Each structure stands twice: as structure tokens, then as C-alpha cells.
Amino acid sequence: MMANEKYTYAPHTMSKDDFVTTRLDTLVNFFRKYGVNWCRKYSLWPLPFATACCGIEVMAVGASRYDIARFGAEAMRFSPRQADLLIVAGRVGIKMMPVLQRIYKQMTEPKWVISMGACASTGGVFDTYAVVQGVDQFMPVDVYVPGCPPRPETLIEGVMAIQRIVERDGIVSSTERGKGFRVVVEPTYTLTVPSRQEKVDEPVGVGK
């Protein structure tokens, strides 16, 4: 097997018979480009910021039926220092918004944000003085997950959208990512139609 041919494959696709001879710095660059992103993509550590009924769906996603461990994101962390994916699930009140902002600031780079459900994204039906009308007014959001509350499949699709961002963006900090990708996911049960799948995949590259 020629060494140069292997560069197009991720390292995990090598069988036990394959071997590679290369320069060490080339190998390091290879792993930084493909390996680290691949590892990071399948080891997202979410912080479930669950304030309402969307939190129930987050729990369902974590439980055995939907099982977010299949996507490597089952390590729910309740400390922002240990998490890199903030899932804002539920309505955010006027007293909770500074808390949410502080939690976002406390998370270490790189970090991603999912705004889950109608309330976190727009305020939902709670158009009152006490509810913030969309957390994206005051903090960055990478992926919006629609629904009231979203089905667990939809949240999983949101996590997969984050995974696609991670795969393409890798370990650059969120500052370098600018304002985020503004990705809106669609429910996964429509993905059997090929054209719909392209539609879901399409916006991920837009911000780049």
C-alpha cells in the first residue's frame, strides 16, 4: 500500500493489514486534520440547560430508547467547565438569562450551542414581560431545533448537525467561527427522501 494513497482515508478505516510509512510531521498533521476532529465529533459532552418540558425530551434522548450514546454524546455534564455543547432546552426567564450567559462564558473553547424548541429560540407562546424572546438575541447559537417540544429524533438530528460542524470546522475556537452557522434542523423521519436529506445537509457549509 502506498503511503500517499492513504491520506484520503480517516485512520479508523485502516484494517489490521494496512501499514503506512511517512514522515512524523506529516502524520501529526494528518491526525490533527482528520483524527482529532473525528474523535471530538463523537465525544461531545452536552450541558443540558433544561428549564421546561424540552428537558423531558432531553432526558428521553439520554435514555435507552433513543440513546444519545450512539452518537457519543451521553456524558451529560452539569458543570460548564466540563462541557462543550450547551443545549438550551426550555423557556428562559428574565432572571435566568444572566445565568445562561454566565454559563456560556464559563464553558471552555471550543464550544457549541443548540437552541432547542420554540421557547428557547423565539419565546414561543410566552410573549410576556418575564420571558426572553429568543436566547439568540443575547448569545451565539449554532443550531436551532424546532418543535414544541421537539421529538427526540429532532434533537438527535440537531446533535448530528453539530457533529457535521465539528467535522468541517474542527478545533478552531468559536471566535474564529464567527457568528455561527444558523443551522435549522428538520426531523429525521423525513430523511428517507434523498432530496430532503440534501436539504438538511446543505446549510452546514454556508457559514464557511
Name the site residues for another protein (rule: CB under 8 A): 94-95, 97-98, 101, 104-105, 127-133, 137-140, 174-175, 177-180
Residue nearer to another protein on the CB measure, 28 or 130: 130
Answer whether 165's CB lies under 8 Å from 181's CB.
yes
Q: How far is the CB of 22 from another protein (least distance, A)?
A: 36
Residue nearer to another protein on the CB measure, 21 or 175: 175
In the 8-state DSSP scheme, what is residue 196?
H
Q: How far is the CB of 174 from another protein (least distance, A)?
A: 5
Q: How many CB atoms lie within 10 A of CB 73?
A: 24
Q: How far is the CB of 152 from another protein (least distance, A)?
A: 29
> Per DSSP, which regions of the chain are E strands?
46-50, 85-89, 112-116, 143-145, 183-184
Answer whether 121's CB lies under 8 Å from 144's CB.
yes
Residue nearer to another protein on the CB measure, 98 or 205: 98
The CA-to-CA distance between both ends of the chain, in Å, stands at: 34
Burial 157-183 (b: 16+ CB within 10 A, else e): bbbbbbbbbbeebbeeebeebeebbeb
Residue nearer to another protein on the CB measure, 2 or 206: 206
Residue nearer to another protein on the CB measure, 179 or 199: 179
Q: How far is the CB of 101 from another protein (least distance, A)?
A: 5
Q: How far is the CB of 161 from another protein (least distance, A)?
A: 18
